[in-house]
Structure 1
Amino acid sequence: MPKLLHVDSSPLHGRSVSRELTAAFVTQWKSSHPHGLVIDRDLNTTSIPPITAEWVGAVYTPEEARTPEQKQLLSLSDSFLSELEEADEYVFGVPMHNFSVPSVLKLWIDQIARVGKTFSYTDGTPKGLIIGKKATFILATGGIYDAQTQMASFNFVEPYLRALFGFLGVTAATFLTAGGTMALNHGQDRDTFLAPHLQAVQTYAQTL
């Protein structure tokens, strides 16, 4: 049974462009995989604490030697890791916040980037441990940050996510971007704006 992990990070919910596009992706994916399972993870309804010294200490304590308190500290991280491992494919909804990813997504990343779980080092060489997975990142940006545009150098979302997930072993990554969403705040018809992006997402999802 194929499994898809669906992660949303926008705080806008019903007004979110990235959420509407990931929902369309999931609908098409379900149509293509009628016996598939979708694991939904809304990072804005999940309380994710920042990394602490105690958390780091728990991570570097051998599993068999961890105290009950340390196991509790890692329980949320373990849940996230279980979802990543269980799924065959991932789809992430990512709005650009201040040229980078939303804070809740960064908190999630800090929980899943764990030595011995999602990456390792052998003789000083890093190795990603999340292998054989496909990831689709659906980005929504207020401005236009496409390559060769004036603002391209301000886009730290795609380079960061591509580098981070590549480091963890997810090299089959596709990025679909809905740029210029600020137009929706200035009278642009939402359906007209979304139509080509919905079509692109649905067309791509059909290939998976």
Structure 2
Amino acid sequence: MTKILHINASPRGPKSQSALLADTYLSARLQREPAVQVDSLNLWSADLPEFDGDKNAAKLSFFGVGEMDAAGKSAWDQVVEVTQRFIEADEYVFNVPMWNGGIPYKLKHYIDVITQPGLLFGFEPERGYFGLLENKTAHVFYSSGVYAPGADKKYGEDFHSAYMDWWFGLVGIKTVVTTRHQPSILTINPDADLEAAVARAKAAA
């Protein structure tokens, strides 16, 4: 059975266009494959641990900086619990609105918690960083109000999908399918553009 983890990075609820695209994809996917299991993670209601000093010290111990003490072990167990849910999925669905040229801070928080040595990536001095995930797929649904790929820089720059693509590579997710609704505001016909994006989301399934 395929297990999909849907990570919702938008706080806008039913008004979110990126979430609409992700939900459209998931509905179409379930129609085609009823046995697919969908696990939904709303980052705006999730109780994510703070990546504080104890967790940072525990992380650095994997690089030979100090040793993991009892406080570090307890902190690390919290990280492992959150990350295991991510590792257990076969496929990921992200809906990611653009915030100030980048990703929402809740998504960055989640990424900072789960992106850990020995869990999602490894490191060797000669080899550098390498991903530990294998045979995973990600579907990403991007939205932005003004920015569009190829637009003049006065409309913003992309530290949005560029960051996500870098991160997917870091952790070993090699198959990434992207669906965009960009821009959603600065367009002649917003309703028609959204309908076209919804159609692309269905087609991605």
Q: TM-score range by the shorter chain?
A: 0.7 to 0.9
- Counterpart of 1:59, as a letter, is K
Q: Kindly, what percent of the aligned residue pairs are identical?
A: 23
The separation in 2 between residues aligned to 1:38 and 1:26, in whole angstroms, is 8
Q: Is the Cα–Cα contact under 8 Å of residues 39 and 83 in structure 1 kept in the other structure?
A: no
Distance 1:76 1:28, change over 3 A: farther
Query: How many residues align structurally?
Result: 199
The separation in 1 between residues aligned to 2:74 and 2:38, in whole angstroms, is 26
Distance 1:129 1:144, change over 3 A: same
The separation in 2 between residues aligned to 1:76 and 1:102, in whole angstroms, is 22
Q: Is the Cα–Cα contact under 8 Å of residues 49 and 79 in structure 2 kept in the other structure?
A: no
Corresponding residue to 1:82 among 81, 84, 90: 84
- Counterpart of 1:109, as a letter, is I
User: What's the CA shift for 1:124?
Assistant: 3.4
Corresponding residue to 2:144 among 131, 141, 144: 141
TM-score scaled by length of structure 1: 0.86
User: What's the CA shift for 1:26?
Assistant: 1.0
- Counterpart of 1:198, as a letter, is V
- Counterpart of 2:87, as a letter, is E
What's the counterpart of residue 181 of structure 1?
184
Corresponding residue to 2:118 among 112, 116, 119: 116
Q: Map residues 123-138 of structure 1 onto 2, 5 A cutoff.
A: 123-125=125-127, 126-138=129-141
Deviations 1:42-84 (A, max 9, x none): 001013344222111123457xx652x4344234432332122
Q: Map residues 17-36 of structure 1 onto 2, 5 A cutoff.
A: 17-36=17-36
Runs of 4+ in 1 over 6 A off after TM superposition: none
Gaps of 5+ in 1: none
Deviations 1:71-129 (A, max 9, x none): 44234432332122211111100000000000000000000110111111123322110
Q: Is the Cα–Cα contact under 8 Å of residues 127 and 168 in structure 1 kept in the other structure?
A: yes
Deviations 1:126-162 (A, max 9, x none): 2110111001110011113213x21387111111110
Q: Is the Cα–Cα contact under 8 Å of residues 5 and 90 in structure 1 kept in the other structure?
A: yes
- Counterpart of 1:81, as a letter, is T
Distance 1:123 1:144, change over 3 A: closer
Corresponding residue to 1:154 among 151, 157, 161: 157
- Counterpart of 1:31, as a letter, is Q
